């Protein structure tokens, strides 16, 4: 596994260590978990933003975010993002499904 160096403030490091101790894991495990969750959130946020701008269909955005279509639509609803139902978008969905 490649090694990456990261600079953190003493305060950030103490916070990480406190959380790791509470969860019964070491610092490296907690940081890998946090990075993984953060990357998933960044991918999802980016996919939602592209979907909202009309740059991609819900199907494409879901795929790019690593979610199924229904999971993505549930996430849109949870975040209060309206589902686009214009004709062009629906045609794109039908084309991708077919």
User: What residues make up the domain containing 66?
Assistant: 10-97
Asked whether residue 1 is assigned to any structural domain, the reply reads no
49 domain residue, yes or no: yes
Within 1-98, strands assigned E span: none
Structural domain count of the chain:
1
- DSSP state letters, 56-71: S-HHHHHHHTT--HHH
Which pLDDT does position 92 carry in this prediction? 66
Residues 6+ apart with CB under 8 A from 80: none
Q: In which band, very low, low, confident or very high, does the pLDDT at 88 lie, cut at 50, 70 and 90?
A: low
Average pLDDT score over residue span 5-13 = 94
For residue range 56-84, list pLDDT tens digits in order: 988 899 999 999 999 999 999 999 999 87
Question: What is the pLDDT averaged over residues 48-60?
Answer: 92
Average pLDDT taken over every residue of the chain: 91
Closest CA to 47 of 98, 81, 91: 81
């Amino acid at each position: 596994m490649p090694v990456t160096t990261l600079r953190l403030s003493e305060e950030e490091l103490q916070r990480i260590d406190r959380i790791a101790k509470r969860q019964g894991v070491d610092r490296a495990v907690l940081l890998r978990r946090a990075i993984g969750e953060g990357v998933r959130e960044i991918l999802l946020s980016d996919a939602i933003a592209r979907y909202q701008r009309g740059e991609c269909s819900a199907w494409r955005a879901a795929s790019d975010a690593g979610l199924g279509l229904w999971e993505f639509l549930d996430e849109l609803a949870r975040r209060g993002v309206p589902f686009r139902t214009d004709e062009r978008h629906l045609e794109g969905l039908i084309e991708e499904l077919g």
